[in-house]
Chains A and B, each alone.
Chain A
Amino acid sequence: MSDTLLKVRDLKIGATVYPPGEKPHDIEIVHGVSFDLERGKVLGLIGESGAGKSTIGLASMAYGRGGVELTGGEVWVNGRDILKTPHSDIRNLRGGEVAYVSQSAAASFNPAKKIMDQVVEAAVEHKKFSRKEAEGRARELFAKLGLPDPDNIGDRYPHQVSGGQLQRCMTALALCPEPDLVVFDEPTTALDVTTQIDVLMAIKEAIRDTGVAALYITHDLAVVAQVSDDIMVLRMGDTVEYGSTDQIINNPQEEYTQALVSVRSIEHEEKQPTPEPVLSVEGITARYKGLNFDVLHNVNVDLHPGQTLAVVGESGSGKSTLARVITGLLPPRDGEITFAGRKLSSSLAGRSREDLRELQMIYQMADVAMNPRQTVGTIIGRPLEFYFNMRGAEKRKRIIELLDEIELGEKYMDRYPAELSGGQKQRVCIARSLAAKPKMIICDEVTSALDPLVADGILKLLLDLQKIENVAYLFITHDLATVRAISDSIAVMYQGRVVRYGSKSEVLSPPFDDYTDLLLSSVPEMHLGWLEEVVAHRKMESAGN
């Protein structure tokens, strides 16, 4: 028997699409992809959304999500072509030979069942282990994956453990039936960077210790470089480049791969603070109704005209709450906000139309921030009517100007949001906020849902627009690479407090406080062995303490 566990040859995958205003028709989304995976090895599948990487991963389980169909080619697992085996054998394959770890463990665990029941289910169902043996194995895996209280954590329900812990439980779920292959589909993407590093290390060690082979799917090249032996770069259902991890990272041949490797290379020179800030947040303390603790504690930050203040922190750090306070959606318990030289009313109802116009907002999810039944022209034209009372030709002229500024152009005017890509949708949202001629825009994780190259384009656009319009950005993000790219000053938030604040060069230069150090060192770097270095460094430090 050869060592090849998974052999994919000329795999073609199709789907039925339902474009608005057209008849449903079939399209091909993966156009003949081939690769081999040996036992115990890890292959990274990398690409942007729509590259077909998840679809290929699921094809190794003979599974098509939604209306996806495996239309051609061969997928050999353990010496048989699973696209031609009967359904009963497929059931043995799924969960028995090949297991799946999804991006969102929180959604992938059944909320109504205990973790243990779900972790052992596949092993027991496929008669690999008795229930008792499987539970013992699950506890071993919980311990190996670094979960707290491994003997009892299985008795909890999914909502009773944290996101990072649940993602490790999902890995245990996949490994419990001793599969030959695990498909990891963006297993750390939904986690904070500081959590990601631990989960990544746990997954890497589990792969090494159990000798399981893995397909590791992600859009983050720096992450995949830490765990995989080989990497396949995919784009729009085609293989762009396929080679060893070392070759792809250090010596990429294709232009697209080179772009992925050098992503986030935006240079932006820090500007000096001006005497008069456009926004001044003083002593803000806030809490949500019904909670008996504060989510913001005495927050003080300034934002200068035409500059960018990046508010960075992990989920739950209070950065979005700060945006809600500034916009007036959440009146603070204490503190004051000065905007453009005047005191802002703490509540939305007390603000003038001028206040509203000069302070705009762009959101993370561009597609839900737009009315799907309105054309791009209507969406951008609305603030023109509302704030400037523009009508007819005058309004149309201004809409076209704005469309040109966001590099889309007049032809997009009559399109609906559903006809735009993710990056284009975000551009329309930017145009809509610019239409109000604001002094300041709050950007809440505006690039988080976008692919790296698209996100880069949006950041460049925002910087260009800042130069033209002299608009200030309060840029909320969890992504430090984005912060480096665009900010002039930075506020690091942790548990509702600003733990570090100053100009970009100050904040990003040592000496660091503990949290900023942890945050900065957790950002994956695009070189081999980074993960081990960081983990070893941390072990040494904690031993030193």
Chain B
Amino acid sequence: MHPIIKLVSQRLALGLLLLFGASALIFGLTEALPGDAAQAVLGQSATPEALANLREEMGLNRPALTRYFDWLGGIVQGDLGKSLTNKLDIADSIGKRLGNTLFLASVAAIVSVPLAIFLGLLAVRFRNRWPDKLISAITLTTVSIPEFLIGYVLVYFISVKLGWFSSLAMVNDSMSIGQKLYAVALPAFVLTLVVLAQMMRMTRAAILNLMQSAYIETAELKGLSTFQVIARHAFPNAISPIVNVVMLNLAYLVVGVVVVEVVFVYPGMGQYLVDAVTKRDVPVVLACGVVFAAVYIGLNMVADIVSIVANPRLRHPK
């Protein structure tokens, strides 16, 4: 068997195992919290009899392990359970919101990933000169300011004062793609600012590290321009570390989007999760946790696989 296929299938198997572990952890942790779904439904006024009845009805008296595997079995079949608060099917609600979150994250990613890599290359080209310092200063500043602050500042100046964009990033199915893009422009911009610095700095560091290599000297002695040397000879060897940090940031765009979604009242996963937590809607919290874990593990797995495939020694064995 080709070593790539072997390595990739190993990674896939490991990813599934990890996801399984994550689901157990999420379930276990919510289980460890005081109170349960029955208490959450009945609230403060619950009598012991009513609680016991409801627990019986919801099957909460069964051992945790049985409930875990029931829940897990449901997930595998696409059944995430029903919300306690509005009795709606969680899979349906998440589906729509996950779509919205992914849309926002993709817009931010499509802007930020190429921009970060380009800025990283530019910083290497002008290393220790003013463009490098300017790029570093700006990206470090934006990453150091909390995203909600940037969000509110932008809302104040751009939405309220200038009136260019709406402060509420509402999207729905009836909107055209153009309208949607217009609606998410501000939150996507904030997210871009947040993830830009890390990706740009990793690109810069990874390529600078390679610039000491003998093959870079060979390329310089061929009379190539500095930018050709960086883009043609250094970048292909830097793909692996860059993809890793890009994937971490993409995962952050999906998972860490909570704050930005709340600031801009965007109907995505973050809003949904925050609502569920405030209402103690345990099944929704569990479902969101699993979805986030899946996204995180999935993206990191993609990074691993890209690293494997990008390695010519593995792609073309002797």
Q: Do A and B come from one complex?
A: yes
Interface residues of A (CB under 8 A from B): 58, 61, 63, 65, 90-96, 99-100, 102, 104, 107-113, 118, 121-122, 125-126, 156-157, 159-160, 173
Is B318 a contact partner of A125 (Cβ separation < 8 A)? Answer: no
For B, the interface residue count at a CB cutoff of 8 angstroms equals: 21
Question: Is there a chain A Cβ closer than 8 Å to B180's Cβ?
Answer: no
- A65: B residues at CB distance < 8 A: 217
Give bound CA distance, A110 to B236, whole Å: 9
B222: contacting residue among A90, A122, A159, A160, CB under 8 A = A122
The 9 A-B pairs of least Cβ separation, nearest first, read A95-B222, A94-B223, A95-B223, A107-B214, A122-B222, A112-B236, A91-B223, A110-B215, A100-B221
- B219: A residues at CB distance < 8 A: 110, 121
- A58: B residues at CB distance < 8 A: 221
Is A113 a contact partner of B221 (Cβ separation < 8 A)? Answer: no
Is A110 a contact partner of B237 (Cβ separation < 8 A)? Answer: yes
Is B312 a contact partner of A94 (Cβ separation < 8 A)? Answer: no
22 A-B contact pairs sorted by A residue (CB < 8 Å): A63-B220, A63-B221, A93-B223, A94-B221, A95-B224, A100-B221, A102-B217, A107-B215, A108-B215, A108-B217, A109-B218, A110-B218, A110-B233, A112-B236, A112-B312, A118-B218, A121-B224, A156-B316, A157-B312, A159-B313, A159-B316, A160-B316
A95: contacting residue among B215, B221, B233, B312, CB under 8 A = B221
- A112: B residues at CB distance < 8 A: 236-237, 310, 312
Give bound CA distance, A108 to B313, whole Å: 16
Is A96 a contact partner of B223 (Cβ separation < 8 A)? Answer: yes
**B315: nearest chain-A partner, CB-CB:** A157
- A99: B residues at CB distance < 8 A: 221-222
B218: contacting residue among A102, A126, A160, CB under 8 A = A102
Give bound CA distance, A100 to B220, whole Å: 10
**A90: nearest chain-B partner, CB-CB:** B223
| Secondary structure call for the B interface | helix
**A93: nearest chain-B partner, CB-CB:** B223
Question: Is there a chain A Cβ closer than 8 Å to B213's Cβ?
Answer: yes
Most buried by B among A94, A156, A173: A94
Question: Is there a chain A Cβ closer than 8 Å to B172's Cβ?
Answer: no
Give bound CA distance, A99 to B223, whole Å: 9
- B221: A residues at CB distance < 8 A: 58, 61, 63, 94-95, 99-100
**A88: nearest chain-B partner, CB-CB:** B225
- B220: A residues at CB distance < 8 A: 63, 94
Within 8 A of A (CB), among B85-134: none
A111: contacting residue among B215, B223, B224, B318, CB under 8 A = B215
Q: From known contacts A111-B313, A160-B318, infer whether A125 and B223 are also in contact, taking CB-CB under 8 Å.
A: yes
Give bound CA distance, A469 to B227, whole Å: 60
Query: In angstroms, how far is the closest chain B Cβ from the Cβ of A90?
Result: 8
Is B223 a contact partner of A126 (Cβ separation < 8 A)? Answer: yes
Q: From known contacts A108-B214, A157-B316, A159-B318, infer whether A113 and B222 are also in contact, taking CB-CB under 8 Å.
A: no
Query: In angstroms, how far is the closest chain B Cβ from the Cβ of A502?
Result: 36
Chain B positions 190 through 227: 1 when the CB is less than 8 Å from some CB of chain A, otherwise 0: 00000000000000000000000111011111111100
**B214: nearest chain-A partner, CB-CB:** A107
Query: In angstroms, how far is the closest chain A Cβ from the Cβ of B32?
Result: 42
Within 8 A of A (CB), among B222-241: 222-225, 228, 233, 236-237
- B312: A residues at CB distance < 8 A: 111-112, 157, 159
**A104: nearest chain-B partner, CB-CB:** B214
- B228: A residues at CB distance < 8 A: 125
Query: In angstroms, how far is the closest chain A Cβ from the Cβ of B169?
Result: 41
- B218: A residues at CB distance < 8 A: 100, 102, 108-110, 118, 173
- A95: B residues at CB distance < 8 A: 221-224
Query: In angstroms, how far is the closest chain A Cβ from the Cβ of B3?
Result: 13
Most buried by A among B217, B219, B221, B236: B221
Query: In angstroms, how far is the closest chain A Cβ from the Cβ of B203?
Result: 16
Is A121 a contact partner of B222 (Cβ separation < 8 A)? Answer: yes
Is B214 a contact partner of A102 (Cβ separation < 8 A)? Answer: yes
Query: In angstroms, how far is the closest chain A Cβ from the Cβ of B145?
Result: 37
- A121: B residues at CB distance < 8 A: 219, 222, 224
Give bound CA distance, A90 to B223, whole Å: 7
Most buried by A among B233, B236, B312, B313: B312
Give bound CA distance, A90 to B219, whole Å: 14
- B222: A residues at CB distance < 8 A: 94-95, 99, 121-122, 125
Q: From known contacts A93-B223, A159-B312, infer whether A113 and B217 are also in contact, taking CB-CB under 8 Å.
A: no
Give bound CA distance, A291 to B257, whole Å: 48
Most buried by A among B213, B220, B228: B220
- A107: B residues at CB distance < 8 A: 213-215
Query: In angstroms, how far is the closest chain A Cβ from the Cβ of B315?
Result: 8
Query: In angstroms, how far is the closest chain B Cβ from the Cβ of A157?
Result: 5
Give bound CA distance, A125 to B222, whole Å: 8
**B237: nearest chain-A partner, CB-CB:** A112
Query: In angstroms, how far is the closest chain B Cβ from the Cβ of A64?
Result: 11
- A96: B residues at CB distance < 8 A: 223
- B236: A residues at CB distance < 8 A: 110, 112-113
Give bound CA distance, A420 to B228, whole Å: 40
Give bound CA distance, A408 to B288, whole Å: 70
- A102: B residues at CB distance < 8 A: 214, 217-218
**A160: nearest chain-B partner, CB-CB:** B318
**A106: nearest chain-B partner, CB-CB:** B214
Is B215 a contact partner of A109 (Cβ separation < 8 A)? Answer: yes
Give bound CA distance, A108 to B219, whole Å: 9
Query: In angstroms, how far is the closest chain A Cβ from the Cβ of B71?
Result: 41
Is B223 a contact partner of A92 (Cβ separation < 8 A)? Answer: yes
Most buried by B among A58, A65, A157: A157
Query: In angstroms, how far is the closest chain B Cβ from the Cβ of A100?
Result: 4
- A93: B residues at CB distance < 8 A: 223
